[in-house]
Structure 1
Amino acid sequence: MPALARQADFTVKRSDFPKDFIFGTSTSAYQIEGSSFGGCGSSHWDTFSATSGNVVRCENGALACAHYNHWESDLDLMKDLGVEAYRFSTSWARVMPEGRGAVNQEGLDFYDRLVDGMLSRGLAPNLTLYHWELPSALSDIGGWRNRDIADYFADYAEIVVKRLGDRLSTVATINEPWCVTWYSHFHGAHAPGMRDIRAVSRAAHIVPLAHAKAVSALRALGQKDLGIVLNFEHTSALDDKPSSLEAASLTEGIYNRWFLGGLFKGEYPADVLHYLEPHMPKGWHADMEQIAQPIDWLGINYYTRSLVSAGKTDPDCALPEMIGNKGPLPRTEMDWEVYPEGLGYLLEWISNNYTGTLPLAITENGMANKDAVVDGVVDDQERIAYLDAHFKQALGAIEKGVPLRAYFVWSFMDNFEWALGYDKRFGLVHVDFESFKRTPKASYHVLKKLLEKS
């Protein structure tokens, strides 16, 4: 495997981007806050993590980065970095420990202080309402397989936005529906850890429905700048075999076209629906008009590519086997190939085929690296090279007319990386998970230099 390149500085400049282009950084609640603080309820990630074999060393987000207690100094670091915006999420279990009913005022008060803290430091608050942590009480009644969850999510969205909405720059409903549905209900890699075609078929419709119900509820409150965040992979066939081409097309339909089709065309792609429709919720067709209601922007998360071939499929299986293969490109610590060109391609493809003039934002892009503090320094030049290459692709898309408005680097600091525990470090800031000491990495300092006003 080729080594990742090392690069001491960015080759792009802030002035290369439009004057009103926004640079920010992203995190999520469960990954940094510490779910044991502030009256937070149990989420399905707490129980998933407690089951041996699901998460490395059964690690969890109980402490995470202790951001709940260190948020002020974290925001100070963010301000010093020079980004203009911060994409954060609220924890449903922190706001409503049972997922419905009683509100934990201590949790809402925390987010109130956090948003005010952003504004006082010149950081635009960009809220994501759901970043994968479903309250355990809702998981107990079927979670995202239960249509009622869509209404409970809209209720939660209203409660949060009534409290914070007057100070928010943007609101995203749900982060990465593919991970919420397929990765969690079919591949079993994330909470709730299911491997069930009926479960994923239901969830893959109920999650967009929950988004739609929340958008309707927030529009009624007069909230502006509503969107959703989808994740994408550049997907192609491993070779020219007809079986590989067919497997790649189906993979791409599941990963990239299913949610785009529902949101922007009011229909799911026929090739994927062929397999899922027998398991879909009764009456799902009637929801499509609401699911396709207009939004104000789309968030795009991008990390890597996928080279797909066909496996051997038993005739009784609900889906053909699709195999992801690694190519010859350098890889990150996640074992993901570094393929910046995929970002440029997807930005154009999404804009040309689905969103048109709708504003787009890169809401996550970054890499896990084997970072360590040596003599007080974290020399993550591989991350600098990774970001530089992806910044160039974003610039190229803008030059071709793609209405890209923002770029949020994932992530601001090292955190709990879900099923991989604390082993994988994505941050611009290194976190010692025992002392909670923060150490800005070389990438932080180089990005700060890029963002300095001339």
Structure 2
Amino acid sequence: MSSASRDTVLPSGLRWSAATSAIQIEGSPSDDGGGRSIWDDFVDVPGAVRDASTPQRACDSYRHPEADVALVADLGIDRYRFSIPWARVQPDGRGPASTAALDHYSRFVDALLEVGATPFPTLYHWEMPSAVESDGGWLVRDTAERFADYVAIVADRLGDRVTHWYTLNEPAMTTLQGYGTGALAPARPLLFHALPTVHPQLLAHAYAAEALRSRGATAVGLVNNHTRVLPLTASREDLVAATMYDTLHNGLFSEPLLAGEYPDLEAFGLPPMPVLDGELARIAASIDFYGINFYNPTTVTAADPAGPLPFEIVPTPEAPVTGFGPEWPIVPGALRDLLVDLHRRHPHMPPVIIGENGASFPEPDGAVRIDDAERIDYLAEHIAAVGEAMAAGVPVEEYTVWSLLDNWEWADGFTQRFGLVHVDFTTGERTPKASYDWYRDAIARTRTAVAIERSVQ
């Protein structure tokens, strides 16, 4: 690790945050009187989770939230991103809310405010009630209205203290991996027949935004997973494949929100989105900020014409990788390029929030202090890339590390560790890593530098 990484002063003008999600750290709602979620169904399928683990307890954060609040306080971040699981609040995805669940999140919001961290909840981090999925999930429009009802319940209870909200997390991955390949819950491998899940998700976001604003919200946005798509070669076939993948992963969600229209799917031989009059206008008016999760670029080549898909994701040449291997290459400049290109295409875009950025690396399971130099370098270089994008005019206002804690990593179970804080999943013991100290100290140094600069002006 370079000494420059250890002594980093971060770009000024940014707010600093860290993120988690409920099922990944709290455990399954169904173990605490909540409803069954699509992840309960997913883990019941033999072989679905890499290490055959379940999120039954995860980091035990639902029962011991005070441990996480203490870490947030010591870290000194401006905001803390967490999620509220639909199945915990509305076990059947409709009808009365769980008073116990709302009481819990009310106390948690108060605890964050007491330590000076702005609560920034996500209202859907892939935690769909099984009952909603059995009624069609994101393939049907009715889910958008049911989601808005749930959002209104949460906002009625927390809206007097919470004014900043994420609605949906990474709808692109819900479409591509949840309903497209089936790699994530609800594990429905529909390939291109998954595309009808796009519009109900964006409608759900728009309806939720309206419900939140009517209850005092001042900042509402959707956060999507974005990737910089790179063709493997300059051949026409690879360029076409990369363009198509870029449209499906990025454009299907960014364009309706930032330009008020869907990309031309018919150019790829795909049916258009089923849009009714006025819906695109509601979607385009629904964001106060645009959230971007970024982990890695994606290199694409043309696939065998006889295969199920016209593109293939391949390793990025000469790029180092995270614990996920070649599918997660490390190219910090790809984040800068993605941000600059998005702003070039949408010069009047709203403020940008980096809602997640981080990396997993192999680490021991038992409680131990870890000098995670690779993670520090990853974070420092990606934050520098954000600074370069800001210098080029991109209106980035906030940066968020994924994740505060090691957690249950979906289909990879407990085999991937993203945390600034190591978690022993047997005992629940939390041990801050070197990256935790680095992020805390870098934030403090940056605030001191900004204060000095202002004092001499």
- TM-score band (shorter)? over 0.9
- 1:390 is aligned, of 382, 399, 410, to 382
CA contact (8 A) 2:244 2:268 kept: no
Q: Once structures 1 and 2 are overlaid, which stretch shifts more, 394-403 or 224-233?
A: 394-403
The alignment's TM-score, normalised by the length of structure 1, stands at 0.93
Letter in 1 for 2:221: G
* Counterpart in the other structure of 1:287: 279
Q: 2:346 is paired with a residue of what secondary structure?
A: helix
- 2:80 is aligned, of 68, 86, 109, to 86
CA contact (8 A) 2:336 2:385 kept: yes
Query: What is the number of residues matched between the two proteins?
Result: 443
Query: Alpha-carbon deviations, 1:115-160, whole Å to 9, x = none?
Result: 0010001111111110001000111111111110000000011111
Letter in 2 for 1:51: V
Query: Alpha-carbon deviations, 1:208-253, whole Å to 9, x = none?
Result: 1111111122223332211110111111110011111110010111
- 1:25 is aligned, of 5, 18, 21, to 18
Letter in 2 for 1:397: A
1:356 aligned to 2:348? yes
Taking the aligned partners of 1:424 and 1:97, their CA distance within structure 2 comes to 29
Taking the aligned partners of 1:172 and 1:151, their CA distance within structure 2 comes to 17
Q: 1:57 is paired with a residue of what secondary structure?
A: coil
Taking the aligned partners of 1:53 and 1:126, their CA distance within structure 2 comes to 34
CA contact (8 A) 2:362 2:416 kept: yes
Q: 2:32 is paired with a residue of what secondary structure?
A: coil
1:149 aligned to 2:139? no
CA-CA distance at 1:303 after TM superposition: 0.5
1:377 aligned to 2:369? yes
- 2:157 is aligned, of 131, 153, 163, to 163
Q: Which runs of 5+ in 1 are unaligned?
A: none
Taking the aligned partners of 2:212 and 2:18, their CA distance within structure 1 comes to 25
Query: Alpha-carbon deviations, 1:240-269, whole Å to 9, x = none?
Result: 111111100101111111111111222111
Q: 1:277 is paired with a residue of what secondary structure?
A: coil
Query: Cα 1:390–1:272, aligned 2, differ >3 Å: closer, same or farther?
Result: farther
1:115 aligned to 2:109? yes
Taking the aligned partners of 1:298 and 1:273, their CA distance within structure 2 comes to 27
Query: Cα 1:312–1:157, aligned 2, differ >3 Å: closer, same or farther?
Result: same
CA contact (8 A) 2:245 2:311 kept: no
Query: Cα 1:95–1:375, aligned 2, differ >3 Å: closer, same or farther?
Result: closer
* Counterpart in the other structure of 1:324: 314
Letter in 2 for 1:247: A
1:313 aligned to 2:313? no
CA contact (8 A) 1:260 1:354 kept: no
Letter in 1 for 2:313: I
The alignment's TM-score, normalised by the length of structure 2, stands at 0.92
CA contact (8 A) 2:87 2:93 kept: yes
Taking the aligned partners of 1:375 and 1:257, their CA distance within structure 2 comes to 42
Q: Once structures 1 and 2 are overlaid, which stretch shifts more, 212-221 or 131-140?
A: 212-221
CA contact (8 A) 1:264 1:355 kept: no
Residues 76-225 of structure 1 mapped to structure 2, 5 A cutoff = 76-197=70-191, 199-225=193-219
Taking the aligned partners of 2:431 and 2:159, their CA distance within structure 1 comes to 32
Query: Cα 1:107–1:350, aligned 2, differ >3 Å: closer, same or farther?
Result: same
Matched residues, percent identical?
40
Taking the aligned partners of 1:84 and 1:342, their CA distance within structure 2 comes to 26
Give the superposed CA RMSD.
2.0
Taking the aligned partners of 2:316 and 2:262, their CA distance within structure 1 comes to 29
- 1:368 is aligned, of 340, 351, 360, to 360
CA contact (8 A) 2:181 2:191 kept: no
Taking the aligned partners of 1:8 and 1:53, their CA distance within structure 2 comes to 43
Query: Cα 1:365–1:202, aligned 2, differ >3 Å: closer, same or farther?
Result: same
* Counterpart in the other structure of 1:10: 6
Query: Alpha-carbon deviations, 1:385-425, whole Å to 9, x = none?
Result: 10110111111112222111111100000001000001000
Q: Which runs of 5+ in 2 are unaligned?
A: 449-457
Q: Once structures 1 and 2 are overlaid, which stretch shifts more, 126-135 or 220-229?
A: 220-229
Q: Once structures 1 and 2 are overlaid, which stretch shifts more, 103-112 or 220-229?
A: 220-229
CA-CA distance at 1:176 after TM superposition: 0.5
Query: Cα 1:288–1:397, aligned 2, differ >3 Å: closer, same or farther?
Result: same
- 1:54 is aligned, of 48, 51, 54, to 48
CA contact (8 A) 1:99 1:137 kept: yes
